[in-house]
Amino acid sequence: MALNTAFLLMAQYNGKAIIPLEDVCRDYFSHLTPTIMLRKIGAGEIALPVVRIDVKSQKSAKGIHLQDLDDYLDKRRQEAIREFVALNS
């Protein structure tokens, strides 16, 4: 069965194109606070672009575009599969 990550994310987040950073942090980076997650994104440790709704305000709402989260999760899955195959070959 082939799963489409984007479709599942649309269902999970009620069709939102931009998912609030706090929600992504809670659901996929629960070991981090949103502040630490932003710091890791800024340092290049987490490869996710952050969308700022109002580019002129530092306090603007921040989120992750659904397609970017889809790409990130699919890439992490492919890396996990490669690691699994290497360890079990």
The pLDDT, as a whole number, for residue 2 is 61
Q: Characterise 54 by phi-psi region: left (phi > 0), alpha (psi -120 to 50), beta (else).
A: beta
Q: How much is the average pLDDT of 11-26?
A: 96
Q: How much is the average pLDDT of 62-89?
A: 96
Q: How much is the pTM?
A: 0.89
Q: How much is the average pLDDT of 2-25?
A: 94
CA angle in degrees (0–180, nearest 5) for 76-8-27: 60
The pLDDT, as a whole number, for residue 56 is 77
